[in-house]
Every structure is written in structure tokens, then in C-alpha cells.
Amino acid sequence: MAYSANSKGRVIFHIDMNCFYASVEMAHNPKLKGKPIAIAGNPEERKGIIVTSSYEARAKGVKTTMPVWQAKKLCPDLLLMRPNFDRYREASRAIFKMLSEITPLVQPVSIDEGYLDITDTKELGTPVEIAEYLQQRILRELDIPCSLGIAPNKFLAKMASDMKKPLGITILRKRELASKLWPLPIEEMHGIGAKTAEKLKKVSIHTIGDLAAHDVYSLKQLLGVNGERLKNLANGVDYRPVDPEAVHDFKSIGSSQTLAHDSTDWDELHQLLDHLVENVAKRVKRKSATGKSVQLMIRFHNHQTITRSKTLQKYIDEKKDILFVAKELLKKHWNEEPVRLLGVSLQNLEEKRQVGEQLDLFTYRDNVKKEKLYETMEELADKYGKNVFLSLNSEKDKEQQPRTSFQKDFLDDYKKP
């Protein structure tokens, strides 16, 4: 497994926690180790969704996004748990702190994975020695297993980290593409989803090697500029740097939630919409952002998903403005079929200070007053808990389903040590 850091090229790690949520729960309660466990949004509901599961559960066929009833049918002794996002955030922060002690060039891409550029850390040992150190330290101090990929660029490092799990360390050199990468099915290539894989198979591209050898012109005809990009990646060409600041780049902020049951109740959908928009508005304010496009996502009972958006003439960031557009989109595009999931996002975002305020003097003064009030409320909420402020007409909080934007929520909150 020799790998020299003395070459002219870069040395990139991709680190990925194994069954992260389940692993955190097993670290918290060691009695769960070796048992089939799954994290589910609403374990009591048959239509609750599996968020993640342990390897023992996966061996029985349990998969992410699978309904609870189906998972229990495949694995009758499956232990179901509600997600504890605070616990996962805490573990994630500890992990990224360890990574930042190796190099300042750390780029988180989600709560449980990230890239490191260790090219200039020769004094710490060889790349394999550094990878082994990180893997063992995370396991020893947090009891969480991880896999690492070592390669000359981000794409190959990501592909390498997926090759051996759990507790794998895999090196993928460019000279090894023909033997290690190209034989893999095209759907296993990072960056290629089910629809793109389907298109590629129609033109006889079944493996990553087929893509690497395919004519670039026909790929661009089929997939646009993305065709050339994917061909380059398949040939091991990826010049993207590990960018610690990329975590702060954002073009949209969204929130989505699966309903406990398929619903055609207009009031119930409006109530969920209100809840989602409140989450979006809070995060938009926290980032001092503003946007001019609202997108609504509707997933129906048969898993068909549609997204519809509306672009506005001016930027907005208030809950009432986002909610108005979201409700308008729902009214216009919902066909009254049972709904399984709703999502709302504010897009085309800019930082407020970079956008000329489209406000008259009186509105501006009112806006400033409200922002100071919001800041005070958020400070009190941080100190005394999120329920310190209660709306007089609000109903008792219901049990929450996990929101699929949690990975992005983590990135919004990430602060470099």
C-alpha cells in the first residue's frame, strides 16, 4: 500500500463515516452493537421512512428511504430508533476538529464526509500512515468507524472511499483506472444518478470504462456540457481544489418533510407548508441572505415527484412572503392526489449586503427594528430553549419527522475550528 507524498501531484483524502447515524447510536449505547438497528423518522408509523441502518440490518435487505413496514418484513428483529440530530451534530463537529488538526485544507460536504488535501503534510508521515492514524483515532475516541480514499484528486478519492467498507483505506492511482475503476457499473460512478445512467445505457455505456472511451461529441449531444465533464472524471481528470470556504457557498436554502401518512387534506398540507417555510426563513436570516425564487417540491403517494418554482421581481426573506408564494404554487400545481412529502426552498440567493435594499425609508426603518427583535429572540432561544416563545394561536407541537435538509443544515452551521 505504498503511496508517496513526494510526487508533484496532490494527495487528496475523502473520508466517509460508516453508517454514521447508526454508528453514533451504537457508540452511545454499546448494547446495540452487532444488532440490526435502523434510524426512522417515525418508527411507530407503518409509513415512517428508514433514514439509515446498521450493516447487520443492511445484510437483511433494509435500505435507506424504505418504509418501516417493509423493513420490518425483511428483518422482523429490526430495532427502530428515532433520530437524535443533536447527538449526530456533536459527533460530526468532533470528527471535523480532528481533521482540521491534520491540515487546514478540509472541505466538509455533509455531516459525515469531507475532503482533505494533505499534500503539504509530509512531516506527519506517509498518506497511508496519516489515514490509519485518523481512522484509528476516530474509532478510539468516538467509537465510530470510517473509510478513507486516497487519490490525486477529489473524484478518485471519493470513488476509492466507497470501494471498501467498513474501516477501509483504499488507494486509487491514475495508472490503476483500467483495473480498479473502469470495470465498475456506470450507476456506481459518483455524480451519475438513475436517470443519467438510464440515458447512458441506451447508447451502450454500461461501465465507467465505456464512458471513459466514448466519443465526447455524442456525450455532449446526449447530456450537454455535463457529458464532457463526466467523461473527464471517468478518465481521472478532476482539477477541483479542496476548498474550505466552499462550505459557505450557497444558492438555495430549503426544508422538506415526509408526512406520517399520505394526505389529501388541504389544511394539513398548509400547516406543513407553514412549518417548512418557518425553517427556511430562520436559516435565511441566520445567513443574512435574501432570495428571489421560491421552489415547491411535491412527492406523491406513488413516489412521482414534481418541482415547480416562481421567480420574483425583487428579493424576499420574510416568512410571510415565502409562504405566500409557496401556497400559490401548491394551489396551482397540486392535482389533489395523495401527498407523501413536501419541500420548500428559497433560491437565487445573495448576501443581503450585496443586494441593494428595495425598500423605501419607512419600510427600511421597520425592517431594521424587526431584525434587532429577531436577533434578541434568537439569543434568548439559544439560552433558554427553542420553545421560549409560543404563539397564542399555536397548537401543541407535533412529533416531527426528520427533514431531508438536515445534511445541509449541518453545513450552514459549520464553523472552522
Residues with active-site annotation: 113
Q: Is 243 annotated as a binding residue?
A: no
Asked if 159 and 149 count as a contact pair (C-beta separation under 8 A), the reply is: yes
Measuring CA to CA, how many Å separate 332 from each of 118, 255, 296, 329?
Answer: 51, 20, 11, 5
380 vs 72, 304, 414, CA distance in Å? 42, 42, 21
Burial class (CB in 10 A: 0-12, 13-18, 19+), 133: middle
Short-list 31, 147, 142, CA closest to 81: 31
Q: Is 120 a known ligand-binding residue?
A: no
Please give the Cα distance from 324 to 149 (Å, whole number): 46
The CB-side HSE value for 344 (13 A sphere, CA atoms) comes to 28
| Residue (of 256, 251, 258) closest to 276 by Cα position | 256
Distances (CA, A) of 274 to 155, 203, 213, 257, 307: 39, 45, 50, 12, 18
| Phi, psi torsion values for 223, nearest 5 degrees | -125, 5
Set of cell numbers at residue 232: 473527464
Contact 17, 145 (CB under 8 A): yes
The sign of the torsion formed by the CA atoms of 208, 212, 215, 218 equals: positive
Residues making up the annotated binding site are 16, 112
Q: Which residues are annotated binding-site positions for Mg(2+)?
A: 16, 112
